[in-house]
Amino acid sequence: MSAINNSTRLDDLSQRAKFQRWWQTGLEREGLFGYLLLIPMLVVVLGLIGYPFVLSVYFSLTDKLLAQPDFQFVGLKNYASLLEDPIFIRTLVNTFNYSVTAVIAKLFFGLIMALVLNEVVRMRRIVRAAFLLPWVAPSSLSILAWVWMFDSQFSIITYFLNQLGFVEGKIAWLGQPALAMAAVQTVNIWRGIPFFGMTILAALVTVPKELYEAAIVDGANAWNRFVSVTLPHIAPVLAVVTLFSFVVTLGDFQIVWILTKGGPLNSTHLIATLAFRTAIRSADVGRGSAIAAFLFPFLMFIIYMQIRYLRRED
Amino acid sequence: MSYLRRNQKRSMTTLILILMAVVLSACQAQTVEVTRVVTEVETVTEEVEVMVTPTPAPEESFAGVTIEGIMRNSFIPAMNAIQANQAEVWGEETQGFADLTFSREWREQVAASIDSGAGGDISELFANQAFIYGDQLLDVSDIAEELADQYGGWYELAAEASVVDGVWRAIPRAYTAQAINFRTDVFEEAGIEKLPETYDELLEAARIIHEAGLPPAGFTMNQAGPNDSANFAYSLLWSYGGSEVLEDGCTVAINSDGTRAALEYMIELGQYMAPDVTAYDEGGNNRAFLAGEISMTQNATSIYWVAQQQAPDIAANIGHFKYPSGPNGRQEFVQINLLAIPAHTDNPEAAKNFLRWMMQEEQLSPLAQVGLTFYTPLLRSYDDAPTMPWNIDPVLEPLKGAADGGHLAGWPGPASRESAAAYENQTIVNMFASVLTGTDIETAVENAEAELNAVYSCN
């Protein structure tokens, strides 16, 4: 009896040792260990992004209404009807106007910010941290501050413009379509510049100093050094950060929702705000999902270009 | 090695700075929140003690049962406090537990709850939402009938907002009585002795005030202030004989002479209004009125309520008059709040008991008193109840019975998903706002018609 027990225990120990060996060897194998590390992120991405996304695309092909369990497959009907909807067409134009203008401005000011910060020597860390504040501050809080700054009666911007003599009286910042669009773009630019600035700054510090010294010896002025040395070195980073920001800005929601709710006259509605209003407030989940998914092929193209570019750089 | 350490030090410093920034921002937010809560508690404690009077004990016992409620977060803190206290009393009386959550995004939470079939045994709804959720809500016809018998019957509007395919899917708890808020001292200074009863008289009053150089009229017309804007826009449209849809509820009818007449009126009124009315959000006209920038606007009684709390001198000069009538009579848009029980609830009996109990006078009356007509019951016996604000404060008297003959979005068609969608699109508000910002009438009508055609269909 005792012999049998000892034999079983030996078998167990042998099994455990085998498993430990397999596990240790596995951990040492780079490929397997890499996949193991990926699992938590994969679960998060598939569960919180992948599943809702697939469901959303599926709903966009149905006549699903909020809180109604029964719905039918309608093919591309929702997408076709969007093309006849004046609010959607306007929203599409708004979204591109908003994104293109904001991204160009963020790139321009972010580049300037990075170039300036790269030259700052004294209190460098504090200055850099201060410039990051718009980006790290909770968006809902900072946007609420902008609500007051664009208030038609108590705007501090209007106050200063009045004091400086540029305008007289009140300005309905969020009451005129062109001004309202400029206002929401301004907030997006304000929030986005630090991201551009810090990313470009990270690229700037990698440019070898010797190249600048050689350029100076060759008689290059500041502009020549920027065009011939700096720009070629940071170009890959500029491309990636621009494409990334464009994708994120196209999906912007909170700035517009808090500031204007898409108004006035739907002049600041973006794809995300219109999709939210249609799917949740108006209860048309199918149509709202179609609005949300409308730009997906375009975004896929941008992401494809981004990945292709990165691979080429590698 | 030293390079590595230096970089580690730099990274740590940067990280600490970022963390400090985030913590500072978070602390700032928390401080604001705490301050607000403390002020609210201090302000309302006494009121709540008075308002939560002993209530009749519900007959049934729900020991161990918890019901959750998703409620609208009122801008009047006492209203939330009173309801929370009432829920506590209900729990004590029935040995159950009612957990009410007051949220500013309550509509989205209700949508998520009902669509997913989880959470929320009691849901507060708004306007046409009973038609959005339909049979996903429990039949509460028995409660509606009992309440009608108890309290002198419902306004017609109550059934219009709650009866879906012949079944009461929600209990209309209250509506927001709106009126024209005006400055009595400005009217006096301008020599306006008779309060406007028609839109023409309203226009004339606005003109006189404008020409006298006094704070002008300011009627919000912006989709960022949807409730006030819709109240004035729909009421004006209907009073001039226009409507977005015919009685069948599907034929778009915005392209009409009535609509054009209403738009012409708005252009004329715009000449005498504050220039930034298209920029006001929901509180924009309140702020402008309290700051003395405007002297006349559409609103519930929140301006009066805030003035009473913070600026008694202004409150002393605030008056109200009913929405005027037009060529098609006095047609007023009304916003309703309802209570419903999602069909997915595991505790239908407890939820019904709670709903029935919350609608009793002992519970509803304190809300109506504190709400200053912001929370006006739709049961007729409240019109003449001596405890109601409009029977106590003469300034609020014009708001009495404002829902009588009122309509929901989509009138003269029935309330429907489509009318709720058209309301959410703010098509009517935008049509009026566009003529105020320079669009010609024909283009405004065409744009509205195209938007409505994308929503309504007779097929």
Q: Which residues of chain A are within 8 Å of residue B447 when distances are taken between CB atoms?
A: 86
**B437 and A263: CB-CB below 8 Å?**
no
Contact A261 B430 (CB under 8 A): no
Quick one: pLDDT at residue B56? Answer: 57
How close, in Å, is residue B361 to chain A by CA atoms?
32
Nearest CA in chain B to A258: B224
pLDDT at B18: 45
CB spacing of B420 vs A282 below 8 angstroms: yes
With 60 as the cut, is the pLDDT of residue B46 above it?
no
At residue B21 the predicted structure's pLDDT band, cuts being 50, 70 and 90, is very low
Tens-place pLDDT, residues A165-211: 998 888 989 988 999 999 999 999 999 999 999 999 999 999 999 99
Range with top average pLDDT, A48-57, A137-146, B40-49: A48-57
Substitution target from B14, B109, B115, B229 for chain A, most A beta carbons within 10 A: B115
CB interface of B with A, residues 423-452, below 8 Å? 424-426, 430, 433-434, 437, 447, 450-451
Interchain contact, A153 vs B276, CB within 8 Å:
yes
Nearest CB partner across the interface for B291, out of A147, A153, A280: A153
pLDDT above 70: residue B43: no
Three-state SS at B346 = coil
Name which of A86, A136, A154 is nearest B21 (Cβ-Cβ). A136
Distance from CA of A129 to the nearest CA of B (A): 6
- B223 or B297, which is more confident: B297
CA B196 – CA A273 distance, rounded (Å): 39
Judged against a pLDDT cut of 50, whether residue B430 lies above it is answered with yes
Nearest by CB to residue A153, choosing from B10, B287, B430, is: B287
Alpha-carbon distance of A46 to A54, in angstroms, equals 10
Q: A266–B430: do the CB atoms touch at under 8 Å?
A: yes
pLDDT tens digits along B159-210: 999 999 999 999 999 999 999 999 999 999 999 999 999 999 999 999 999 9
CA distance, residue B120 to nearest chain A CA (Å): 14
Three-state secondary-structure class, residue B155: coil
Rg (CA), chain B: 24
Determine the Cα–Cα distance for residues B442 and B245; give it in Å rounded to an integer: 18
Q: Of A141, A169, A284, which is closest to B421 when you measure between CB atoms?
A: A284
Chain A residues whose beta carbon lies within 8 Å of the beta carbon of residue B222: 174-175, 263-264
CA–CA distance, B141 with B158 (Å, rounded to integer): 12
Contact between residue B120 and residue B70 where contact means Cβ atoms under 8 Å apart: yes
How high is the pLDDT of residue B38?
Answer: 33
DSSP β-bridge partners for residue B70: B101, B123
Give the ipTM: 0.75
Across the interface, of A67, A87, A125, the residue whose CB is closest to B425 is: A87
Residues in chain B with CB shorter than 8 Å from the CB of A260 are: 224
3-class SS of residue B407: strand
Residue to substitute from B14, B17, B113, interface A, most A β-carbons within 10 A = B17
B24 has a chain A CB within 8 A of its CB: no
Selecting from B21, B29, B417 the residue whose C-beta is nearest the C-beta of A133 gives: B21
Mutate to test the interface with B, among A151, A152, A176 (most CBs of B within 10 A): A152
Question: How confident is the model over A292-307, as pLDDT tens digits?
Answer: 999 888 888 888 887 8
- Cα B64 from Cα A84, distance rounded (Å): 54
DSSP letter string, chain A: -HHHHHHHHHHHHHHHHHHHHHHHHHHHSHHHHHHHHHHHHHHHIIIIIIHHHHHHHHHHTB---TT-----B-TTHHHHHHTT-HHHHHHHHHHHHHHHHHHHHHHHHHHHHHHHHHH--TTHHHHHHHHHHHHHS-HHHHHHHHHHHT-TTT-HHHHHHHHTTS--S---TTTSHHHHHHHHHHHHHHHHHHHHHHHHHHHHTTS-HHHHHHHHHTT--HHHHIIIIIHHHHHHHHHHHHHHHHHHHHT--HHHHHHTTT-STTTT--HHHHHHIIIIIS--HHHHHHHHHTTHHHHHHHHHHHHHHHHHH-
Q: How does the average pLDDT of chain B come out, rounded?
A: 87
Contact between chains at A263 and B430 (C-beta distance less than 8 A): yes
- B90 pLDDT band, cuts 50/70/90, is very high
Q: What is the pTM of this model?
A: 0.80
